[in-house]
């Protein structure tokens, strides 16, 4: 029997509260957590966030998008126009998963760029992008100096109409910058957050 949309959403969110703290608390990533479930649960949480319409019609850059480019379904859910996956090491796999997704989904344009995130961001104009970065923990990026440079570039390239979405494990914008025209908003029990730039 089909279940009401809201009760399904409630179920997923209730489960996510327990599963996420358990998985992240142990710094554990199984295959299923690298898959669609993570972005499905994120979609459910983001759907309730008051600024979720900000993704509609934008260019969204997924920094470290992964071999399965799972973020593309999230992008499509929220009406993104142009999805750009940045993936240096799993480029071929990312491209083939993206191609398969696009065979059944034509509402957005999408591509994979083979680049590391810092080099890519440095080439982008200021105030031009929406961005997302998920599950890029301390072991993924080279060091704190690199993470700090990435944070600076995200703050520079973030559009005043856009949004930067991320999780506990990925690059945060520094407090000095959050007080310098960038606002941090937490949703879903601080697991995920959004950064907005003042217009």
Ligand X SMILES: C[S@@+](CC[C@H](N)C(=O)[O-])C[C@H]1O[C@@H](n2cnc3c(N)ncnc32)[C@H](O)[C@@H]1O
**Residues 41, 20: contact at Cβ < 8 Å?**
yes
**Looking at 110, 112, 117, 131, which residue binds ligand X (CB under 6 A)?**
117
- The answer to the question of residue 52 lying near ligand X (CB under 6 A) is no
Residue 80 tokens read as 């993104």
- If you ran DSSP here, which 8-state letter would residue 158 be given? B
The beta strand positions in the chain, using DSSP E, are: 59-63, 82-86, 109-113, 130-133, 164-167, 182-187, 192-197
Residue 86 in the binding site for ligand X (CB under 6 A): yes
Q: List the interface residues with ligand X, window 92-111 (CB under 6 A).
A: none
Q: Which one of 135, 147, 177, 193 is in contact with ligand X (CB under 6 A)?
A: 135
Give the list of residues 6+ apart from residue 162 with CB closer than 8 angstroms, or none.
Answer: 54, 58, 129, 130, 131, 197
- Please return the burial class of 45, using the count of CB atoms within 10 Å of its CB with bins 0-12, 13-18 and 19+: buried
Q: Which residue is nearest to ligand X (CB)?
A: 66
In the bound complex, what is the minimum distance in angstroms from residue 4's beta carbon to ligand X? 29
Q: Does residue 138 belong to the site contacting ligand X (CB under 6 A)?
A: no
Among 6-14, 45-53, 86-94, 102-110, the segment contacting ligand X (CB under 6 A): 86-94
* Minimum CB distance to ligand X, residue 190 (Å): 18
Name which position in 34, 73, 108, 151 contacts ligand X (CB under 6 A).
Answer: 34
Burial (CB count within 10 angstroms: exposed 0-12, middle 13-18, buried 19+), residue 73: middle
* Closest CB 168 distance from ligand X, rounded Å: 12
Q: Considering the rule CB under 6 A, would residue 152 count as an interface residue with ligand X?
A: no
Q: Which is nearer to ligand X, 77 or 161 (CB)?
A: 77
- Does residue 136 bind ligand X (CB under 6 A)? yes
Calpha distance 163→53 (Å, rounded): 10
Question: If we measure between CA atoms, which residue out of 126, 134, 109, 112 comes closest to residue 46?
Answer: 134
Contact of 39 with 47, CB cutoff 8 Å: no
Q: Is 130 a binder of ligand X (CB under 6 A)?
A: no
Please say which residue, 10 or 148, places its beta carbon nearer to ligand X.
148
Contact set with ligand X (CB under 6 A)? 34, 63-67, 70, 86-90, 116-117, 134-136, 140-141
């Amino acid at each position: 029997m089909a279940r009401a949309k809201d009760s399904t959403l409630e179920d997923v969110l209730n489960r996510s509260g327990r599963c996420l703290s358990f998985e992240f608390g142990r710094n554990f990533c199984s295959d299923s957590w690298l898959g669609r479930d993570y972005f499905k649960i994120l979609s459910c949480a983001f759907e309730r966030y008051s600024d979720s319409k900000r993704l509609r019609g934008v260019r969204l850059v997924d920094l470290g998008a992964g071999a399965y480019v799972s973020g593309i379904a999230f992008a499509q859910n929220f009406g993104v126009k142009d999805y750009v996956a940045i993936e240096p090491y799993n480029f071929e796999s990312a491209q083939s998963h993206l191609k398969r997704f696009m065979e059944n989904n034509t509402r957005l344009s999408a591509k994979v760029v083979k680049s590391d995130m810092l080099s890519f961001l440095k080439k982008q104009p200021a105030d031009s992008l929406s961005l997302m970065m998920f599950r890029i923990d301390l072991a993924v990026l080279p060091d704190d100096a690199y993470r700090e440079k990435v944070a600076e570039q995200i703050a520079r390239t973030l559009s005043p109409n856009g949004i930067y979405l991320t999780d506990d494990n990925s690059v945060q914008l520094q407090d000095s910058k959050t007080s310098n025209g960038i606002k941090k908003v937490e949703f879903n029990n601080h697991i995920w957050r959004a950064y907005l730039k003042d217009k």
